[in-house]
Amino acid sequence: MKLSPFIDLVNKNCGLLIESNLSSNLSSAINTRMTKNHLDNPNQYFHFLQNSTEEIQYLIDLITNNETYFFRERLHFQICIDRLIPKILDKKPSRKIKIISAGCSSGEEPYSLAIALANQFGLDIFNTISIIGFDINESVLHTARNGEFGPHSFRESATPYRKNYFQKTENNQYKLNSSIKNAVKFYRCNLFQPSFPKWLNNADIIFYRNVSIYFPKPTKKVVFEKLGNALNDTGHLILSSTETFSHNLKGLSLVEIEDSFIYTKQDADRQNIQSKPEPQKLPKASKLKSATTKNISNSPTPFQAMGKDTSSPKNPSLLFEISLKNAIQKNYDESFSNLEALLDLEPTHIEAKNLCATIHINLKQLEKAKELCRSVVKQDEWNIEARLLSGIIARMEDNPNEAVKWFKSVIFIQPSCWTAHMHLAELYNIEEDFKGAFKEYSLALKHLEKNGIEKRNLSYFPLAYNKEQLIHLFKHNLKNLK
């Protein structure tokens, strides 16, 4: 049977990439549905399918991978209870806190969260927090709404909460107590549909775990962007640990909490998850390590370390110093006016141009930044900083090929530049060239450990990490890539 037209049709409708692991699902699903519809050849069925959205839904229900279980990646629930929820509650929001489980399958994920919340805060918490699960697959949603689960759903979790929150039925199933069942709403929704429904917007936390692995790259990107937009300004996105590092999520930064990484909106209140509240336990939480948070993306930058300077410019080096201090303090207007004065005095002042380009990058004025970098490279062909900045601009413009070229050119000039290796590693990782990413992370790690963070060839670009955090991050990524 020729599967490609079916694959295209399914992909068009729900974004699913039918790879080898799902294609056997697809053939048997087609056979099942052909029999059900009394059709005896795939062409007839394809024709029928093209004209019936209902039939497409039946087919999708048969091919999605719905693997899930209670308290899968338990630490994520612990982080919610210990870190995220208390901080959101502290702000006393006037509206209900909204937590979404995107691709919730038969409900074990949102129900785990509901159990964890009830266990920690009592059932009244559901007056303050709403939990919504959604999935494209109508039949798993039926199971979710029904709230009855087999022993397999508990394969990774111990029994205390099963005793407290479930009733065993005669046929060896476990029926969820209505107090938890009623706390979670389920909807059918396709992550790939052009716009999300209202109930998905303004979310505080979105669980999006073990779903994107089935999507082709362009779909992954679109869905990430949409989920990022669905989060409110201080929202968090939680991916499974295997997915976390393969993405470049615009507008979201990575925060490490113990061994887990979650994404958080860039302008989120940094205190939100940085401070360590009293540990609060989930059932069987004694097995968990106590969480310590390192906010990798938001650690102080060198720019934040210096004081405001209002002295008036006297000569090029003083002008530069003042510009730098102002840039560090994010007094960009002040910095620009001093740089302008400096470039009037010395139009070929390379450091001034690079600083100016860096500020433009920070302000997302990429054309201006590009122009300045080009002029530096024209003036000094081997200028590493302008080349690195050009690579960063290309990344921001979503032009990975161009970015790779720039970073490779830096490595050609200076093979020990860990910054260039780090960017290449991230780019390869996003492109799913895991071998390339592994090699580049190894080199970034080696050169960073040997030469230190100072040798990063970016004098002014704010660095979001300190050396230890970077080493930790590189090692973590290498472990994942292995």
Binding site for ligand SAM (CB under 6 A): 14-16, 64-68, 72, 103-105, 109, 135-137, 140, 190-192, 209-211, 214
Token pair in block for residue 87: 């901080």
User: Cβ of residue 56: shortest distance to ligand SAM, in angstroms?
Assistant: 12
CA atoms within 13 A on the CB side of 128: 16
Q: From the CB of 179, what's the least distance to ligand SAM, in Å?
A: 22
Nearest to 291 by CA among 127, 123, 92, 84: 84
Report whether 132 contacts 101 (CB < 8 A): yes
**Distance of closest approach, residue 71 Cβ to ligand SAM, in angstroms:** 10
Write out the E strands in 8-140: 97-102, 129-135
Residue with smaller CB distance to ligand SAM, 211 or 361: 211
Q: How many residues does the chain have?
A: 482
Element (H, E) at 252: strand 252-257
Q: How far apart are CA 143 and CA 107, in angstroms?
A: 8
Question: CA-CA distances (angstroms) from residue 430 to 11, 21, 71, 433, 447?
Answer: 21, 21, 28, 8, 22
Question: Rounded to whole angstroms, how far apart are CA atoms 387 and 409?
Answer: 8
Helix (H) / strand (E) containing 174: strand 174-176
Q: What is the closest distance, in whole angstroms, from the C-beta atom of residue 193 to ligand SAM in the complex?
A: 8
Rounded least distance, CB 33 to ligand SAM, Å: 17
> How near is the Cβ of 211 to ligand SAM at its closest, in Å?
4
Nearer to ligand SAM, 121 or 192 (CB): 192
Smallest distance from the beta carbon of 60 to ligand SAM, in angstroms? 8
Is residue 296 within 8 Å of 469, Cβ to Cβ?
yes
* Shorter beta-carbon distance to ligand SAM: residue 8 or 233: 8
Which residue's CB is nearer to ligand SAM, number 101 or number 383?
101
CB 354 within 8 A of CB 372: yes
**Closest distance between ligand SAM and the C-beta of residue 73, in Å?**
8
Q: How far is the CB of 151 from ligand SAM (least distance, A)?
A: 17
**β-strand pairing of 184-188 with 129-135:** parallel
Instruction: Give the DSSP letter of residue 243.
Output: T
Cβ-based nearer residue to ligand SAM, 63 or 443 = 63
Closer residue to ligand SAM (CB): 105 or 253: 105
In the complex with ligand SAM, the residue whose CB is nearer, 158 or 345, is: 158
261 or 460: CB nearest ligand SAM: 261
Of the candidates 430, 447, 437, 381, the one whose C-alpha atom is nearest the C-alpha of residue 410 is: 381
Beta bridge partners of 293: 257
Q: Which is nearer to ligand SAM, 153 or 409 (CB)?
A: 153
CB of 140 to ligand SAM, least distance (A): 5
Question: Nearest-CB residue to ligand SAM?
Answer: 103
Burial readout 20-54 (b: 16 or more C-beta within 10 A, e: otherwise):
eebeeebeebbeebbeeeebeebeebbeebeeeee
142 versus 276: smaller Cβ distance to ligand SAM: 142
Which ranges in 160-303 belong to alpha helices (H)?
160-165, 178-181, 217-230, 271-274
Q: How far is the CB of 105 from ligand SAM (least distance, A)?
A: 3
- CA angle 472/475/417 to nearest 5° reads 90
Q: Which is nearer to ligand SAM, 73 or 82 (CB)?
A: 73
